A and B are shown apart, each in its own frame.
Chain A
Amino acid sequence: MKALDDVSLNIDQGEFVAIMGPSGSGKSTLMHILGALDLPTSGTYFLNGKDVGKLSDDQLADIRNREIGFVFQAYNLLPRTSAINNVMLPMDYASVPEFEQHKRALKMLEKVGLADRLSHSPNKLSGGEQQRVAIARALVMNPSIILADEPTGNIASFQADEIMSIFKQLNDDGHTIVMITHEQDIAEHAKRIIHLLDGKIVEDGNGHKRRIINSNSNHEINKTN
């Protein structure tokens, strides 16, 4: 049983894609490959023209650091660490100077509306606020894609709307967003919805209309068997 089978997919810069499917459909595996956390056993994945499958561990770490911003269902913030320090973390791994880190982290937290929560540690923040810190962290390296894995899964519905409006705003600003979700109403916020079932794409389009794949795209995944 293959987690993903004969999946061929292009994602353009500036798209807002939702990936849907029941559990076991392969959406997490697809997410891990897109996020350079896992490599396909066969097939290729091009990110900004680079063949990700041919990169070393350290180069993959660099890709995750600079090209991809992760937003997790469980936020995954460092405990006992202030919001601003959490946002600064990815910049540590890119050797950004300290004063620059501070400036950029501050800007990102302002962008997600948490300018007044800079020194709060995660346990003093609500779920929605924690996820907004995580989004600020995902944005701070100015990545090519934001990968969100069930970003509203742990959040009360009124806060989920806030998160989605932030994603919409980011997409309007030109960010590419790929989001995994199993909630139809959350997926509706995306401009393109891909349905997976048993490792295969069964539907790709805006609601019902299937899209023509653009071969001149920037982000491209091509996975076979």
Chain B
Amino acid sequence: MKLTKLIKSGIKNLAINKMRTGLAVLGIVIGIGSVIALVSMGESSKRAVQSQIQSIGSNLLTVSPGFITSGGVRGAIGGAKTLTNDDAEAIKTSPKITTVKNVSPEYSSRAQVIAGRNNTNTQIVGVEPVYAEVRKLTLSLGSFISSQNLTAQSKVAVIGPSVAEDLFGEGVNPVGQTIRISGKNFQIIGMTKSKGGAGMDNQDDRIYVPLTTAQKQLFGVKYLSSIALEAKSESVMTAAQNEVGYLLLERHKLSSPEEADFRIMSQEDILEAASAVTGTFTTLLTGIAAISLLVGGIGIMNIMLMSVTERTREIGLRKALGAKKKVIIYQFLIESIILTFTGGLIGVILGIGGYYLYAKANSATFVITLSSVFLAFFVSVAIGILFGWYPARKASNMNPIEALRYE
């Protein structure tokens, strides 16, 4: 029997009971739709993490101080004052360090910033000129902190576009303007190009000042909050991590890595840790979606079993007229595949629609991977076969005599 004819008669049979067919399809729509939406959301957050790594630089290592331990209570990472300017200098000059290209000591803290009548609270980052290269920072206006600024402890600042907007309004050139940071006047010499990012990690919501100025004039500290390192290439990242690690252990007079009062993390480590939570969440939700798909499949099986029972006489007749077992199996399998495929089709459309709304609402990247769409169709057909198989087998194994007598 020709496939097109089987499909046509399958559609005709399913159309008889539109309500029942619709409800069975709905189960698959919900399952496939939620799987597609959640997998796509997970994919787009994964891509966001990847592009963030690339924008920050994949050769980047960050040394941060360890935990403050006071009275057995462990504080947050970076709270300790164990990293110093001398540590950074040692990494720069030590002959033991062969794989590090640039060293960027940094001190950052939050402070109140005032310009005219506007004021804002933002992250102040004390940097050396090499910071721009290590952190892949580019300027849209003016120039970055120079070595002269550094030695002279100049009160100059490079501001991020978000801060500029907060203080001066949109589209105003801030270069040359004066701002007050913690009560001291700073002249703006440049503005960074927008990098994006959100929340605590927003790199556009920062003000860069010379490291010496930050440490001595603004915050009065002698330690660093982090040292950024640029490895010579991506392939020597681990070597660089080891070299710097052992050098710092030696300098801090510690004997084993377990005692380290600092951490060295690659950009990937940091972002992986950050995305682990969202990843777990996505997996959990996808799991729930997969369960709803399973329930949808059971619904399909239920409908098909009902249909087989209702059509017992028809099956008996078809067998009496010469239908082989295989043809009966095909007939019912095709019906269940039509159900699940239709459900899959609508589910994919709704899932992508839902994902589009999510992406729009969260200004996340909207990427549809063709593989996930194909996977959804494959899965929906597979569910049709899986859950249609038993009812189809039941139909094909009917005794034609008993089936013809069925009332």
Cβ-defined partner of B404 (8 Å) among A76, A80, A94: A76
Q: Are B401 and A58 in contact (CB under 8 A)?
A: no
Q: Which residue of B lies closest to A75 (CB)?
A: B317
Instruction: List the B side residues contacting A45 at CB < 8 Å.
Output: none
Instruction: List the B side residues contacting A90 at CB < 8 Å.
Output: 321-322
Scan B313-326; emit 1 where CB is below 8 A from any A CB, else 0: 11011111111111
Cβ-defined partner of A93 (8 Å) among B16, B324, B401: B324
Instruction: List the B side residues contacting A94 at CB < 8 Å.
Output: 322
Q: Are A78 and B314 in contact (CB under 8 A)?
A: yes
Q: Are B320 and A57 in contact (CB under 8 A)?
A: no
Least CB distance, B404 to chain A, in whole angstroms: 7
CA distance A58 to B1 in the complex (A): 14
Least CB distance, B310 to chain A, in whole angstroms: 11
| B contacts with A, residue count (CB < 8 A) | 22
Least CB distance, A149 to chain B, in whole angstroms: 9
> What range describes how many residues of A lie at the interface?
20 to 34
Q: Are A70 and B320 in contact (CB under 8 A)?
A: yes
Q: Are B313 and A95 in contact (CB under 8 A)?
A: no
Q: Which residue of B lies closest to A97 (CB)?
A: B2
Scan A178-212; emit 1 where CB is below 8 A from any B CB, else 0: 00000000000000000000000000000000000
Scan B1-30; emit 1 where CB is below 8 A from any A CB, else 0: 110010000001000100000000000000
Indicate the member of B16, B313, B324 with the most A CB atoms within 10 Å.
Answer: B324
Q: Are A57 and B324 in contact (CB under 8 A)?
A: yes
Residue A160 interfacial (CB < 8 Å) = no
Instruction: List the A side residues contacting B317 at CB < 8 Å.
Output: 72, 76, 78
CA distance A218 to B319 in the complex (A): 25
Give the number of residue pairs across the A-B interface with Cβ within 8 Å: 58
Residue A61 interfacial (CB < 8 Å) = yes
Residue A40 interfacial (CB < 8 Å) = no
CA distance A78 to B326 in the complex (A): 20
8 shortest A-B CB distances, which residue pairs?
A65-B322, A93-B322, A61-B324, A76-B317, A90-B321, A92-B1, A64-B322, A58-B324
Least CB distance, A151 to chain B, in whole angstroms: 15
Q: Are B324 and A70 in contact (CB under 8 A)?
A: no
From 365 to 407 in chain B, residues with beta carbon under 8 angstroms from any chain A beta carbon are 400-401, 404
CA distance A90 to B324 in the complex (A): 11
Indicate the member of B317, B319, B327 with the most A CB atoms within 10 Å.
Answer: B317
Least CB distance, B21 to chain A, in whole angstroms: 15
Residue A162 interfacial (CB < 8 Å) = no
Q: Are A61 and B401 in contact (CB under 8 A)?
A: no
Instruction: List the A side residues contacting B326 at CB < 8 Å.
Output: 58
Q: Are B12 and A80 in contact (CB under 8 A)?
A: yes
Residue A132 interfacial (CB < 8 Å) = no
Indicate the member of A90, A95, A141 with the most B CB atoms within 10 Å.
Answer: A90
